[in-house]
Every structure is written in C-alpha cells, then in structure tokens.
Amino acid sequence: MRIRHTIIVAVLAALLCAANALSQDKEKASQGKGGAKVTLSNNKFEPKTVTIKAGSEVTWENKEGTHTVTADDGSWTSPTLSAGQTYNHKFDKPGKYPYYCTFHGGKGGHHMSGVVNVTR
C-alpha cells in the first residue's frame, strides 16, 4: 500500500510538471518573437508597460467593455474594440510609445493608458 501511494504521488507530480511546461509554451507562442500581449479589462491596460524588440508586435486583447488603443501622437489607432476583439500593432523603430483609450483615458498617461517600450 505504501508503494502504491508513492507511485500515485510521483505520477501526479509528473503530470503537474507537464501541464506547467505546456502552459508556458502557450504563453511564449502567443507573444511571438519578442512581442507582447496586453489585456484590456476594468478600464485598464494590463500590464501598463510592455517592452518588446523592434520589428515585433503587441497584441491587445479586449476582455470587456468598449475601448480603443490610440497612440498619444495619433500616428496609429485601433478601431473601437468590443469585448472579445483583439488588435495588433507592429513597432519597427526603437523608442517609447505612449498610448491611451479614447473613451477612458487621455494623452500623457491619464487613466486608461499604457506605454510600449521598443528596444533593439
């Protein structure tokens, strides 16, 4: 009985490790090469600041409500996003790109806003 118990514990531990490794792979795949993912919920961008490599993309996933992802300098914007919709933007040049939601935020980091840092 003691041996059987040990085997069950070992099998469970192995399964947990495998599940963990799988979820980490999924996370990497969704972020692409050097990119990042931001979720929109509770009138916030989460995480507020992401750092990506030049030439990669950020994906914004709207979990709830109606929002936009709009550059402070107006150079790019998403359409109005409803719950469940996503928006991608590719950043080719290194720099700091502040953005906001036109419904719940403002330029300069007010309320619903975020920053994309693009490195070489």
Tell me if 37 sits within 8 A of 61, measured CB to CB.
yes
Among 38, 101, 116, 118, binds Cu ion (CB under 5 A): 101
Please give the distance of CA 35 from its chain centroid, rounded to a whole number.
9
> Cβ 89 to Cu ion, closest distance in Å?
16
CA atoms of 102 and 74, how far apart (whole Å): 11
> Cβ 100 to Cu ion, closest distance in Å?
8
Residues 55-74, interacting with Cu ion (CB under 5 A): 67
Contacts of 24 (CB under 8 A, 6+ apart): none
Residue with smaller CB distance to Cu ion, 32 or 72: 72
> Cβ 12 to Cu ion, closest distance in Å?
43
Query: Does residue 112 touch Cu ion according to CB under 5 A?
Result: yes
